[in-house]
């Protein structure tokens, strides 16, 4: 039996400025109701483990991944905040069969 495990951390940050202007009376006029600055920050921490076994020409691999996500968004001009913190589980199942050394069949679920 082969057991494998690991961790991963992903940090992502985005800052966007956007402006809407309307052409009015031969001038471009800023539309303050549609203009804003958007900040987005996402932190994902993941842990996984898998167990694999092979016997004769057949293999089976089971795995599970747990992710915790912290997501923060903010519209600067209107000071609108949206903060979320959630967890997800991702199971996996992999079956393989190799009747000959040069060919094989593999099925993966999840």
Which residues in 62-98 are b (16+ Cβ under 10 Å) and which e?
ebebebeeeeeebeeeeeeeeeeeeeeeeeeebebee
The mean of the pLDDT values for the chain is 92
- Domain count across the chain: 1
Domain span holding position 45: 2-109
Whether residue 8 contacts residue 46, with contact meaning beta carbons closer than 8 Å, is answered with yes
User: What letter does residue 76 receive in the DSSP assignment?
Assistant: T
| pLDDT score recorded for residue 36 | 92
pLDDT in tens, 18-61: 899 999 999 999 998 889 999 999 999 999 999 999 998 899 99
Whether residue 93 contacts residue 110, with contact meaning beta carbons closer than 8 Å, is answered with yes
Is pLDDT at 4 greater than 80 in this prediction? yes
**Dist CA 94 CA 100 (whole Å):** 19
């Amino acid at each position: 039996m082969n057991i494998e495990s690991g961790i991963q951390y992903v940090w992502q940050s985005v800052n966007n400025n956007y402006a809407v202007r309307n052409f009015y009376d031969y001038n471009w006029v800023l539309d303050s109701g549609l203009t804003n600055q958007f900040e987005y920050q996402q932190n994902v921490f993941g842990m996984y483990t898998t167990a694999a076994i092979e016997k004769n020409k057949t293999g089976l691999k089971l795995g599970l991944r747990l992710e915790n996500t912290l997501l923060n968004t903010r519209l600067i001009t209107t000071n609108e905040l949206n903060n979320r913190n959630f967890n997800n589980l991702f199971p996996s199942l992999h079956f393989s069969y190799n009747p000959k050394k040069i060919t094989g069949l593999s099925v993966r679920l999840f």
